[in-house]
């Protein structure tokens, strides 16, 4: 007896179930299933079930202690931001002294570029990928203008080879070997938001350093998605958001990393605020900043307690499950999604943009729709089949089977629906 494909997917879930029970899964908008096939955790991760209790605990402290909550109670607010430091450092492969949770992603990139973009005559270029997330493009261009430079001349956008979709590491390295003496800063996405390509962070970082440049990474689509070792790789700085794969809530606090070789360096300039001064003298209200020899010197203001609360529940899940186990399940789940897509691609106008090598991608597969209309297609997938994906106009839909909570059945539903709708077009 032949087992239907849908039943095969369900049997895979019985053997390899993930941790869906720890999250709230939205109801399906359309179709015959109660829950959505939520393959858009690369845009916003699902809510951990434990998040509400964390927020309620802080609200209770505020209600019963008022301002005293900064100093007393089960979790006094003043040092509470450090409860996020260790788990965050573990996820990015960093020392606690190199890691801090603060602000939002682009704010952190700006604060870090104040310190690490140091243009000089003959060395003023910023190297990014052509398919960088728009916010990164805006940030580096505005940094160039801040230094009185022309961003059209200073910002170098590396493109894939003609006919290819993703940027080859050897082409990045070749550029740095040839032109690196003119590059002040390399700032690339660890996983490209559009194609899902995982960049070879260690090799590119080494090439940037050989060229005499500083190297930073936007890890928005990498943290919680792929294993990272920022300290061992020698990355100068990095920043990441936490509302995608880290499931910390819409607009959640972001993270920042500065390698220990830069910590305590009096030659490094920063924009400074009172929470970054030495903790022991913070409440002396002195007019002169005293920088600690940790990344906390980049802190500006006291952290938002209510925003930190859901992060604790989210990071606790990663500590419980472990990144190695998540990466292994990610490769199985994404590989299965790829197998399903391979069966429907030959007879339909679909192209998978993401590298086929599991070592060169995270859990996202980007699919180009030959006829365009990605937004309309994504809307129909949700409304008619309860499959939630996101789109990048004009012709790319992104499917992200997140290993914490996505299922093999989700993958089957997505490809089945995608094939049906593309066939109708």
Q: What is the pLDDT of residues 245-262, one digit of tens each?
A: 999 999 999 999 999 999
Burial 184-196 (b: 16+ CB within 10 A, else e): bbbbbbbbbbbbb
d(CA 348, CA 343): 10
- Tens of pLDDT along 248-307? 999 999 999 999 999 999 999 999 999 999 999 998 999 999 999 999 999 999 999 999
Residue-range domains of the chain with CATH = 5-35+322-424 (3.90.1150.10), 55-319 (3.40.640.10)
Q: Please write the tens of the pLDDT for every residue from 342-396.
A: 998 877 788 999 999 999 999 999 999 987 899 999 999 999 999 999 999 999 9
Residue 346 confidence (pLDDT)? 79
Confidence of residue 140 (pLDDT cuts 50, 70, 90): very high
pLDDT at 347: 74
Decide: helix, strand or coil at residue 362. coil
pLDDT of 149 > 50? The answer is: yes
pLDDT at 349: 84
Q: How many CB atoms lie within 10 A of CB 148?
A: 7
DSSP 201-216: HHHHHHHHHHTT-EEE
Residue 77, pLDDT > 70, answer: yes
Cβ atoms within 10 Å of 60's Cβ, excluding its own: 13
Edge-first strand listing for the sheet containing 237-240: 99-102, 254-258, 237-240, 214-218, 183-189, 125-129, 155-158
> What pLDDT does residue 1 have?
44
3-state DSSP call for residue 218? strand
Q: What percent of the chain has pLDDT over 70?
A: 99
């Amino acid at each position: 007896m032949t087992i239907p494909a849908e039943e095969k997917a369900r049997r895979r879930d019985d053997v390899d179930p993930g941790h869906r029970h720890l999250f709230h899964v939205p109801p399906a908008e359309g179709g015959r299933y109660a829950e959505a096939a939520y393959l858009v955790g690369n845009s916003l991760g699902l809510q951990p079930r434990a998040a509400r209790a964390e927020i309620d605990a802080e609200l209770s402290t505020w209600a019963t202690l008022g301002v005293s909550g900064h100093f007393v109670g089960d979790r006094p607010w003043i040092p509470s931001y450090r409860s996020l430091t260790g788990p965050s450092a573990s996820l990015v492969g960093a020392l606690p002294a190199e890691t801090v949770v603060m602000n939002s992603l682009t704010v952190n990139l700006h604060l870090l570029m104040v310190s690490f973009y140091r243009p000089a005559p003959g060395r003023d270029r910023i190297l990014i990928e052509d398919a960088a997330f728009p916010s990164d493009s805006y940030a580096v261009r505005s940094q160039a203008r801040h230094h009185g430079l022309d961003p059209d001349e200073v910002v170098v956008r590396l493109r894939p080879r003609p006919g290819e979709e993703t940027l080859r590491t050897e082409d990045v390295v070749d550029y740095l070997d040839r032109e690196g003496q003119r590059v002040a800063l390399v700032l690339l996405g660890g996983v490209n938001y559009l194609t899902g390509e995982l960049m070879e962070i260690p090799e590119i970082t080494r090439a940037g350093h050989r060229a005499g440049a500083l190297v930073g990474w936007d890890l928005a689509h990498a943290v919680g998605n792929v294993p990272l070792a920022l300290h061992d790789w020698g990355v100068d700085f990095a920043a990441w958001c936490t509302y995608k794969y880290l499931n910390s809530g819409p607009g959640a606090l972001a993270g920042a990393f500065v390698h220990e070789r830069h910590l305590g360096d009096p030659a490094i300039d920063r924009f400074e605020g009172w929470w970054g001064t030495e903790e022991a003298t913070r409440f002396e209200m002195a007019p002169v900043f005293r920088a600690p020899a940790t990344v906390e010197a980049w802190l500006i203001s006291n952290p938002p307690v209510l925003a930190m609360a859901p992060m604790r529940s989210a990071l606790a899940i990663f500590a419980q499950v472990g990144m190695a186990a998540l990466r292994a399940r990610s490769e199985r789940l994404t590989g299965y999604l790829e197998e399903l897509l391979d069966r429907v691609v030959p007879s339909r106008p679909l192209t998978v943009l993401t590298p086929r090598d599991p070592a060169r991608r995270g859990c996202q597969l980007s699919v180009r729709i030959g006829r365009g209309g990605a937004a309309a297609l994504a809307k129909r997938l949700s409304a008619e089949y309860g499959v939630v994906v996101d789109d990048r106009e004009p012709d790319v839909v992104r499917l992200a089977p997140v290993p914490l909570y996505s299922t093999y059945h989700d993958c089957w539903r997505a490809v089945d629906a995608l094939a049906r709708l593309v066939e109708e077009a």
